[in-house]
A and B are shown apart, each in its own frame.
Chain A
Amino acid sequence: MASIIRTEDLTYTYSIGTPFEKTAVNKVCLDIEEGTFSGIIGHTGSGKSTLIQHLNGLIKPTSGKVFIDGQDIWDKEVRIRDIRFKVGLVFQYPEYQLFEETVYKDIAFGPKNMGLTDEEIDRRVKETAELVGLKQETLYKSPFELSGGQKRRVAIAGVMAMEPKVLILDEPTAGLDPKGRDKILGQIKEYHRQKHITVLLVSHSMEDIAKFADKILVMNKAEVFCYEDTPDVFKRSDELAGIGLAVPQITKVFLDLKKRGIDIRTDVYTTEFAKKTILEYLERKGGAVNA
């Protein structure tokens, strides 16, 4: 399959020539296939926020190239606004960007900027509102009357309504309780399933990423640490712990068991899978005893 996102030696250095000079992203080469759901994980300051802002042209690289759908986005022929419609970016705490009088108008802001017809805008607003679980009557309320979780969903719908080919979300669940978190992540997964688009989800929570992502991009010190299928990344969980990332609690337990001399797999990251692994182990052992 073709790469929807491709970066070649992408480097970004800010405050060049001052004592604060820092390379936030260093020679990043990435190929992200169309239709994947990828998680991005890394410490604060590992470069993940800077990286994603390059993918829709909000930041211009110091050197290196970004290709979206095969197109060099900084080519003279390319209008950068078109790239932003192709690559939708939801920032952290997106509810702080709401400004319109009604929820409807706020969700319509992006599609309107795209110059779509009123009917098309109407269809998109209603469709995405439903997808993120907003009731019809909520559409005509002021966004400022809503609860925190609802506001967050309106803001996400505002980007989804642009129907981008790539949807990037920077910590969409920050500050939410477990219920709100699961709701939003479920809706994003559903959107991914329905639209077959590419999703990049930045999160601090390895548990959340493990649950939803097909592939994981681990950033460390401005560089790509790895970009692999989720189970493969968790095979390296001791390395992840080594660079100080919080691997799921359950993974730590299995790493510990291995250390205690039990021959068990350590790429375990969900409780369901942990249960399966233990049952399998017992069966195998039981089988050995019987034999």
Chain B
Amino acid sequence: MDEKIISAQNVDFHYEADPEDKTPPKQVLKNVSLDIGRGQFTAILGHNGSGKSTIAKHMNGILLPCGGKVYVDGIDTCDEKKIFDVRQRVGMVFQNPDNQIVATIVEEDVAFALENLGVPPDEMRERVDDALRSVGMYEYREHSPHQLSGGQKQRVAIAGIIAMRPDCIVLDEPTAMLDPKGRQEVLKTIRELNHDFGITAVLITHYMEEAAQADRIIVMDNGEIIMDDIPKNVFSNVEKMKSIGLDVPQVTELMYLLGRDGIPSDTHIISEEECADALEKLLKG
């Protein structure tokens, strides 16, 4: 077993150029290197077009690098013969829950990957039920997906991946189309899968409050990694974050504003409680 479940080494990527277009194709990823450790919860933050979704699609061989290499559990994603081994290890959930549910009954959708892999029916039953329980959708197993809310559909999609018993789950903006309640549900599910089941999670998002819950944040801009650190350290760069069009938590911003007005304050604060503690001290002191 490799300690790094995913390892991207000097990855370059651009889409096929239009033969009539003389201009060279736009580089979407420029020399990106990153390792994802087993059991980690990583968030990749960036605005639209920063390359964050593109790097995500490299993590299970949906896209293949134009230059450089991507290894999943030591397997080169370019190795066509092993592509299903890669996809079983790293599952992927997408933005629109409607466009990734294949079957008309929840449990049959969750079984889809297992059916493709030829898992025997008895074992399949067990794995489907386990997956549905782990995302809290077991009671809905016989429902039709269109009767569910956005957050519930997204959890079904996650169960469909979990049923493969992957080492890692990559989620490409899974909450972008959901309401606040759905977003909370999905985030809670991701955290539980990571914490209770030890599944490595990579969350692509542009919501900073979601990224703040991860162990590590990678910030991408213009096809490159510009920051890679724990959330506190990333968000403390308030000006840098704003300059690339990203938000920081309101509490961090408040600390930053106070600091600018000459009040000693710590911009490493990212949670409400820390902020309230700091302010209490300031106001009572």
Chain A residues within CB distance 8 Å of chain B:
43-44, 147-149, 174-180, 204, 207, 244, 246, 248-250, 252-253, 256-257, 260, 262, 264, 271-272, 274-275, 278-279, 281-282, 285
Contact = CB atoms under 8 A, between A and B. Distances in A.
Contacts of B176: 174-175
Nearest to A148: B48
A249 B249 contact: yes
B8 to A, nearest CB: 23
A6 to B, nearest CB: 29
A257 B47 contact: no
A262 B250 contact: no
A262 B177 contact: no
B193 interface: no
B257 A272 contact: yes
A43 B181 contact: yes
Contacts of B272: 249, 252-253, 256
B247 interface: yes
Binding site of B, secondary structure by majority: helix, strand, loop or mixed? Answer: helix
Interface stretch (B82-90, B112-120, B157-165, B276-284): B276-284
B230 interface: no
A287 B276 CA distance: 23
Given A149-B48, A253-B251, A275-B254, A264 B181 contact: no
A254 B149 CA distance: 33
B180 interface: yes
Contact of B279 (A43, A149, A248, A257): A257
A178 B247 contact: yes
B283 A178 contact: no
Given A44-B149, A204-B180, 6 more contacts: A44-B179, A44-B181, A178-B208, A204-B179, A257-B283, A275-B257
Contact of A174 (B177, B246, B247, B275): B177
B172 to A, nearest CB: 13
23 contacts: A175-B177, A176-B48, A177-B206, A179-B245, A179-B246, A204-B179, A204-B180, A244-B181, A249-B250, A250-B254, A253-B251, A253-B275, A253-B279, A256-B272, A256-B276, A257-B276, A257-B283, A260-B276, A274-B250, A278-B263, A281-B283, A282-B263, A282-B283
A179 B244 CA distance: 8
Interface string B240-274: 00000111011101100110010100000000110
Interface residues of B, number: 35
A57 to B, nearest CB: 26
A104 B261 CA distance: 48
Interface centre among A149, A177, A204, A275 (most CB of B within 10 A): A177
A285 B283 contact: yes
User: Top 5 A-B pairs ranked by shortest CB distance?
Assistant: A179-B245, A177-B206, A177-B47, A256-B276, A250-B250
Interface string B122-149: 0000000000000000000000000001
A248 B179 contact: no
A278 B280 contact: no
Nearest to B242: A178
Given A260-B276, A275-B258, A285-B283, A180 B179 contact: no
A274 B246 CA distance: 21
A282 B279 CA distance: 11
Contacts of A43: 179, 181
A178 B208 CA distance: 9
Nearest to B50: A177
B68 interface: no
Contacts of A250: 250-251, 254
B239 interface: no
Contacts of A204: 179-180
Contacts of A175: 95, 176-177
A220 to B, nearest CB: 14
Interface in B191-223: 206, 208-209
B47 A278 contact: no
A244 to B, nearest CB: 8
A246 B182 CA distance: 12
B250 A271 contact: yes
A278 B179 contact: no
Contacts of A248: 250
Given A207-B250, A250-B251, A178 B257 contact: no
B48 A246 contact: no
Given A44-B149, A249-B249, A250-B250, A180 B257 contact: no
A179 B47 contact: yes
Contacts of B251: 249-250, 253
